[in-house]
Every structure is written in structure tokens, then in C-alpha cells.
Structure 1
């Protein structure tokens, strides 16, 4: 995979523009339900035998990605680990792109010593160097998957925060409704009243079916917190799926859940590893935490980005590393380098039209942004 990534040909600006125009009328934002899918099939496989076990194994085997094969950890219940959760904008609602971008990126970390399950959301518009391209290149982080697949997404996110990442779970939109309905729906606390996708969500506690959960998690532009508010609602859905997956009602809908999983998930975790996680880390699900990388709006070329201050990058890196039981390290990467060159950028400003410039590595020359993704 490494050699393939290095030889990836970056899309031209025209190609990116054509792709944007093709997708724009059907632009949708994916519910980050990856954790819920994985947890649901794990709980089912761990708790029930016979027919259910074999059906679950068959579904998980179909999700395995051998092209990103890695040496699996022991998952003995003593060591912490992280998984990059990728929600791709393909597979439903008219989207038929071969790859698409990852509209949802979450670093999920399991720590058996503290018995915690932590989620760190990475905004889709985060400026990041693409790790694995032949030439230096900067895009929104959600383009890493489009350019170089899950391998590039893993390396790009790992380098951004200096955290070890080798496992991933990717889910497309196709199986969401069946999954949510399969666990009996989800319970959320709606932060404010809004309408979206033909549904009205009233402030307060609501129980949602699959179609409602998809709409609830997709709305972005009417949220006063923008994408950050959407991420909060996504995490609500994830937590509810996890909690409801342990209900016997899930067993009644085993066919829907496993069918959803086999058609909508790709992962480089083997079935045996997933079974060990289910057996040895199940208690961690009971104590969930969530956070997000918070940036500032800025214009790079003619595209709107989220740029991250050194302080915020360091804070986020420290949290993820601590959740893994690792000591903090001072970040020194392309993002901190670019920040050092943009000395006039006002990090306290709410102006999302501020100019931010990308420089060539170790140079005072601006990077040629002809291929800059927007």
C-alpha cells in the first residue's frame, strides 16, 4: 500500500472542480455511526452462539480489507488501542462514487485501565498535508481517503496529531437506516428545534428511527455551531446505538444488522481481533467520552478551510496520547510549520475569510496551489 500511495497521481484542479459540480446537487453529510455498527455486531457475536455466531462471522469476514493488512495486536484486555473511524459520502441517497470523501473522521480510543471509550472528532475541512503523495500536497483532510484510500487517511491523521494509528473502520451511508432500526432506534437529546429532511426535531429528548436518525445527523448549515454542532449530534447517535445494541431487541433483527454490516463496512481488523475486542474490552463502552479538534475558518486560495492553532493541535494530541497511555510529545509537523509562517493570522478573530497561506517546505515561497481541493 505504501508504494501505491507514493505513486498516486493527484487530481488536477479542473478534475476536482468537475467532481464538486457533479456531487454538489446531492451533497449529503454522513452520520458517524461506524462505532455503533462495529459494537452491535461485536456484542451479538460475543453473547450468542450457533446460528447467530456463524452469521455474524460471515458478515464480518466480508468486511475485511486485505490491502491494508497490518500485524494485529493481542487485544488481551490490558493494552490500549485506537481505531480511525471513516464515514464516506457514498452508498446511499443517490451517491454512487467509487470512493468519495470522508465526511466523518473520528479517532476512537479504548483504554482498559481507565475503562473508557473516547472519541475525538476531526473536522472534515481541516487543513492537512497529504502523507503518501509523490509531491508535497495540502488538502482538506477528508480528501486523503479520496486520493489514497484508507492507508493515506490513516497516515495523514496520524501525522497531524502524532498519534499511532494502524486500524480503521470505514462505513458508507447505505446501511444506516437498517442498523438504527435493528437496534430499536436511538434516543437523543435535541439541542434546539429544527427541521431537516422532511422531519421536525423538537428541543429535548426524542426517540428516532433510522430515517430520522440519518436526517438528525446530517443537518449542518442551520446549526449555530456549524459542523461542530453536527459532530455533537453524530456522537449522540453513536452513544445511543452502543447502549441499545446490548438489548435483546437487537437479536430479533440480526438479519438486518448483519446485512447492513456486510454491505456497508470495510476494515483491516480481522474477525478474530474483533472477537477479542468484544470479549476483553466490552466494559469500556459503559464509560464514553467525546471531544473534537476545534479550528478557525480561513481562506486558502479560493477555498474555505479550518486551520488549527499550535495550541489546539497540541491539546488534541495530548488527549489522544494520554488515552493511549502514551507520554505527550511536542508537535513538529507541516501544520505547525505553516502556522509559524502565517504570523499575521489572527487566531482570536471570528472572520472566516481571513487569508492563510501555504508555503513550500523549508521555503519562503508560497506553495503552488493549482491542485488545491475545496
Structure 2
């Protein structure tokens, strides 16, 4: 019998070309949507980057303006303390600094209160500091203020004390006398008001010092070997005590070297060179022939010299001459100090100086 049940109509099969076309359309649509999302994301990222860039540039402009103001303040303060020395420079100090060669700075300390700009009086502190950035070494030598000398240009007053050189003719005379006394070149000088040391130390945030002996002075007590943070008042008491020191003035010189070295280290940092309080204070307490650019070089290129510090002092014997007490080092002792400083400066060995000599030539030949 024939099957009378109605069969469901068979689904007509789509041609292969039509099916393939629709799949292609779906893929293209999905790809367009993906590209649209990518483009939208990129647009958002470009917007974020733009605002970040705008913020960054704005920050740079603000920081640049702020840094420029700091720079100008530092430069102004440096110009106010700059006072060229009339002393004949033995070397080309500008090229010496730029090439990073060892330099010698004569540090002169006066104690005349609020000094102003003339710095009258004698220098109770006389230190030769040599900075050698190549060897990362700093050599600091104290000279006795009562050392017997013939002051350069004032030989008719012989015998004179070394600390009178500044009184006779200022920094120029002091530099020329020390150069001739030891036969070493002095590249720069800095005169510091020891009376104003208190405010100067406070301006750099104090100094850390390990006392060389135990004593009490001006209501301040110190314990040998116990490192202590000193503010200006405390540090001033530490360097001023003299008569209770078993080494007398030589002991005081050693303590002065300690404190002044720490002040120099902190003062040479870029942060302090741009610190308004420090700049304002130092402009009242110091005079130097180091320009602002020179000071920046010291604070960057020469700061590595502080990694290793060696201190020493020229030792003399007390003698009464014409009714006055002088310190008279032996020729051997002077030669020892000359050798030490010339070696630190990278110079060839040479005989120590003689302030009574008619020659004004200073040997500055470099060692090979």
C-alpha cells in the first residue's frame, strides 16, 4: 500500500557561494567592530597621554622657574662674597679647576664680630687645604699663627708673625707670604669670620664631630671620642677653648680643622648652595676669590676629595724674639710639610720656602 503520510518538505540547500558570502560579511562586521573598539581605546590613550604630557611639561616649567630662582639667589650670594685677590697666581687656576687637577685653598679665620666687608684684624686660623679629586683625597694642614716670617712686601718689619700678614695687606699679602714660606702655589683663598661661625653652622644644620679631648667650656661639655651633633653655639665653644688643652694652640688648631672641614663639606653640597638661609648667612661671614661657577665645581667635581681626609700641622718651638713669643719650626719640619702639600698637589719635590729670600718664584712643576 502506498504511504499516505505527508513527508515534511526538505530544506532547500543554499548554494555554496551564498553561504560563503554571508560568513565573510559576519567576519568583516566583527573585524570592523574590533577596529572601532581599538580606535576608541587609542583615542582614550592619546587623550590620557596628552594630559599627562601637559601636566609633565607644566611641572617642568614650574620646577624650572623655581630652580632658576634658586640659581639666581645662589649666584647673587656668591657674587656678594666674591673678592678677587691681587696676588699673582702661580698657575692658571681656571684651567686647573676645569681639568679637575688638585687645588690648594688658603683658609683664613678672623674673629672680629660682625665683619662687614673689610675683614680687618689678624687671622687666628691659617689652614692650607688641598683637594685632589683624582685620588679622592683632601689634605688639611694648619700653620701656627705665631710662626716667624718676613711678611711679603713688608720685609722691613721682620721678624713678624704669620697672622699679621693679613693685617698688613689683606688676603693678597697672606697668600703671597704662605706661598713663599712653604714654596707651594695657593690657588684660592677664603676668609671666614670665626665670630660668625655660630650662625654659619646653624645655617647648614649643624655638624657631627668626635671630640679630641674631654673638657667643659662656656657651659658646654665634651667627651673625648664620643661623636656628637653640634649646633653653632656648641661648636663655637668647642673650637674656642685654648688654655685647658695640653697641646695649647696646636690643640685648638686641630679642633678648628675638625669643625671647619665639616662646615666646608656641608656648605659645598648643591642643596646648601641653593639654600637661602645658608646663602644669606655665608654672604655676611665669608669673602673669597672663588666665583659662583668655581663653587659649583667644588660642590660637584671636587666633593669626592672628601672621601679620605688627612690632617696635619706645622710644629714649631716657642722662642722669645725682641720681647715677643714666636713659633719657629726647624727647616726639617718645614720641609716635611712642604713635601706633604706638594705631593698632595701632584707637584715635583722641591725645597721648602724662605720668606727672607729675594726670589718670588714658586715652583709649580707637576710630577710625571
Task: Report the TM-score when normalising by structure 1.
Answer: 0.70
Residue number in structure 1 paired with 2:69: 51
Residue number in structure 2 paired with 1:64: 82
Equivalences for residues 156-235 of structure 1 within 5 A: 156-203=177-224, 204-235=226-257
Query: Does 2:241 match 1:237?
Result: no
Q: CA RMSD in A?
A: 2.8
Distance 1:233 1:283, change over 3 A: same
Contact kept, 8 Å, 2:82 with 2:288, in 1: the verdict is yes
Contact kept, 8 Å, 2:110 with 2:195, in 1: the verdict is no
Residue number in structure 1 paired with 2:335: 314
- The CA deviation at 1:166 is 4.0
- The CA deviation at 1:169 is 0.7
Equivalences for residues 332-343 of structure 1 within 5 A: 333-334=354-355
Distance 1:265 1:217, change over 3 A: same
Distance 1:116 1:229, change over 3 A: same
Query: Does 2:102 match 1:84?
Result: no
- The CA deviation at 1:90 is 1.2
Whole-angstrom distance in 2 between the partners of 1:187 and 1:276: 24
Residue number in structure 1 paired with 2:154: 133
Whole-angstrom distance in 1 between the partners of 2:339 and 2:306: 22
- The CA deviation at 1:334 is 4.5
Whole-angstrom distance in 1 between the partners of 2:113 and 2:99: 34
Whole-angstrom distance in 2 between the partners of 1:158 and 1:175: 27
Which deviations, in whole Å up to 9, do the C-alpha atoms of 1:92-142 show, x marking residues without a partner?
Answer: 4x9999611000011111112211111111011111111112636221100
Q: Which deviates more from structure 2 when the two are superposed, residues 145-154 or residues 236-245? A: 236-245
Equivalences for residues 249-268 of structure 1 within 5 A: 254-268=275-289
Structure 2 residue corresponding to 1:326, chosen from 347, 363, 366: 347
Query: Does 2:309 match 1:291?
Result: no
Equivalences for residues 2-21 of structure 1 within 5 A: none
Whole-angstrom distance in 2 between the partners of 1:192 and 1:76: 40
Contact kept, 8 Å, 2:177 with 2:355, in 1: the verdict is no
Query: Does 2:300 match 1:279?
Result: yes
Secondary structure of the corresponding residue to residue 262 of structure 1: helix
Whole-angstrom distance in 2 between the partners of 1:98 and 1:78: 31
Whole-angstrom distance in 2 between the partners of 1:267 and 1:285: 20
Secondary structure of the corresponding residue to residue 106 of structure 1: strand
Higher helix share: 2
Which deviations, in whole Å up to 9, do the C-alpha atoms of 1:217-276 show, x marking residues without a partner?
Answer: 01111100111111111122133334555889958x923211111111111122222223
Residue number in structure 2 paired with 1:19: none
Contact kept, 8 Å, 1:68 with 1:268, in 2: the verdict is no
Residue number in structure 2 paired with 1:270: 291
Whole-angstrom distance in 2 between the partners of 1:239 and 1:331: 26
Task: Report the TM-score when normalising by structure 2.
Answer: 0.71
Q: What are structure 2's unaligned runs of at least 5 residues?
A: 1-65, 359-368
Whole-angstrom distance in 1 between the partners of 2:120 and 2:254: 25
Whole-angstrom distance in 2 between the partners of 1:274 and 1:250: 11
Contact kept, 8 Å, 1:299 with 1:305, in 2: the verdict is yes
Structure 2 residue corresponding to 1:107, chosen from 123, 128, 138: 128
Distance 1:250 1:117, change over 3 A: same
Whole-angstrom distance in 1 between the partners of 2:352 and 2:345: 17
Secondary structure of the corresponding residue to residue 277 of structure 1: helix
